[in-house]
């Protein structure tokens, strides 16, 4: 089965399961306990922290282990709200993941603004600068590095520079960036987040990198008082190993972009009704999201699954019932059109031949769907 839903989750890199199994068997002690076995686990955990912090160019003390990027993103806005500063404002891109937008709407319901964007959802830097200039209140700007839905890349480095110039905090959800693109300049952000299962690591572990001192889970002194709860060292070790693999992968991006581009050209050539979201914007090398001309996306996915290819309707969170309104509103999609979105997302294990085979599968699925429709008395739209 060919798997093309890597923006939802990635398969584990070789070596991750072995590293986690060894940690589960030999490093199971509570790292907060006072004896030698616990101290050894604590040292291993801090070694992982130092390795990841060094690769990001940040202080190890600024890197907190979390259960996920969702928890980490929530913690940034929850902590700000709990500080009790009623004058804080939040500026947000309209395409943020729900784990960013929903806490902002809950805690800053009357104190947040949505930034202007172009047709692809890239925020307008002039609009952001005007907001930063005109406000006398402390501001936190939240802009993701790249869209989990379309792969469209935000100008997050320029956002970080503007925020530094106007003394505003900048939080970047880097969940889709880390593991696919160069992480070097993320140190420009006031805070950023990542999740291991998006880059070949295990589920249930992520990081928050923040220069601000705050506590977001209370009840213990773990993670230097920032996040209570016994750390999941085996998962942290799995994330460390996966991250090491990723750091060796960023040399073939242009070639991989060309594989994806050739696939997209083939799909767009099947029928004039196929539309590629974010076509003219900078995008992650692994992501393509199409509005297909006919047939519900669930029918497409079922047909492709039977052929041997796994793709997605979009965000896994949206598939579980969370609103997809940001993308629907951005591209002015009708209810019918929103049910005809298909996302494919590759990862480092895919080859040019895999992309070619995926194009062939789409072509075959389209033909089968049309055959099914022509032989049925029910019209599929």
Show the DSSP H helices in 140-232 as ranges. 156-165
Catalytic residue selected from 172, 189, 294, 317: 317
* Entry field: residues in the chain: 381
What SS3 class is residue 65?
strand
Rounded to an integer, what distance in angstroms lies between the CA atom of residue 235 and that of residue 303?
Answer: 35
Query: Distance of CA 325 to CAs 135, 161, 334, Å?
Result: 28, 29, 11
Are the C-beta atoms of 345 and 312 separated by less than 8 Å?
A: yes
Query: Distance of CA 160 to CAs 74, 141, 218, Å?
Result: 20, 9, 30
Query: What number of CA atoms fall less than 13 Å from residue 8's CA on the CB side?
Result: 16
24-30 long-range CB contacts below 8 Å, 24 or more apart? 24/234, 27/233, 27/234, 27/237, 28/234, 30/230
Q: Locate the DSSP E strands across the chain.
A: 2-3, 63-66, 89-92, 112-114, 139-142, 169-173, 191-195, 206-210, 275-276, 287-291, 309-310, 341-345
Q: Which of 278, 271, 16 is nearest to 146 (CA)?
A: 278
DSSP label at residue 164: H
377: Cβ contacts below 8 Å, ≥ 6 apart:
none
Report, in angstroms and rounded to the nearest whole number, the Rg of the chain calculated over CA atoms: 22
- Determine whether 83 is exposed, middle or buried from the number of CB atoms within 10 Å of its CB (0-12, 13-18, 19+): exposed
Residue 122: active-site member: no
Give Cα 306 to chain centroid, integer Å.
Answer: 28
147: Cβ contacts below 8 Å, ≥ 6 apart:
95, 121, 153, 154, 176, 278, 287
Are the C-beta atoms of 181 and 146 separated by less than 8 Å?
A: yes
* Residues classed as catalytic: 317
């Amino acid at each position: 089965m060919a798997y093309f839903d890597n923006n939802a989750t990635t398969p584990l890199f070789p070596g991750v399961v072995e590293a986690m199994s060894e940690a589960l068997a030999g490093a199971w002690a509570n790292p907060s306990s006072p004896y030698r076995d616990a101290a050894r686990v604590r040292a291993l955990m801090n070694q992982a922290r130092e390795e990841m912090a060094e690769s990001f160019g940040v202080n190890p003390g600024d890197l907190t282990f979390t259960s996920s990027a969702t928890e980490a993103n929530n913690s940034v806005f929850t902590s700000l709200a709990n500080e009790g500063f009623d004058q804080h404002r939040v500026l947000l891109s309209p395409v943020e993941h729900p784990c960013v937008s929903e806490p902002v709407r809950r805690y800053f319901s009357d104190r947040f603004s949505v930034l202007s964007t172009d047709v692809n959802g890239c925020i307008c830097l002039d609009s952001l600068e005007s907001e930063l200039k005109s406000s006398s209140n402390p501001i936190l700007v939240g802009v993701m590095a790249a869209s989990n839905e379309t792969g469209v890349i935000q100008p997050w480095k320029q956002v970080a520079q503007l925020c530094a110039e106007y003394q505003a905090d900048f939080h970047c959800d880097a969940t889709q960036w880390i593991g696919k693109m160069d992480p070097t300049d993320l140190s420009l952000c006031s805070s950023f987040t990542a999740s291991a299962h998006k880059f070949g690591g295990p589920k249930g572990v992520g990081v928050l990198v923040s220069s601000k001192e705050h506590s977001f889970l209370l009840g213990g002194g773990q993670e230097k008082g920032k996040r209570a709860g016994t750390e999941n060292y085996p998962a942290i070790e799995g994330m460390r190993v996966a991250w090491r693999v990723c750091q060796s992968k960023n040399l073939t991006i242009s070639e991989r972009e060309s594989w994806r581009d050739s696939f997209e050209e083939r799909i767009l050539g099947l029928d004039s009704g196929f539309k590629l979201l974010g076509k003219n914007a900078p995008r992650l090398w692994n992501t393509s999201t199409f509005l297909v001309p006919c047939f519900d996306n669930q029918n497409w996915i079922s047909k492709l699954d039977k052929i041997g290819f796994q793709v997605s309707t979009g965000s896994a969170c949206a598939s579980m019932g969370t609103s997809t309104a940001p993308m629907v509103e951005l591209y002015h999609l009708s209810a019918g059109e929103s049910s005809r979105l298909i996302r494919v997302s590759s990862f480092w294990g895919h080859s040019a031949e895999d992309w070619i085979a995926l194009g062939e599968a789409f072509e075959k699925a389209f033909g089968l769907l049309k055959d099914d429709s022509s032989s049925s008395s029910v019209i599929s739209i």
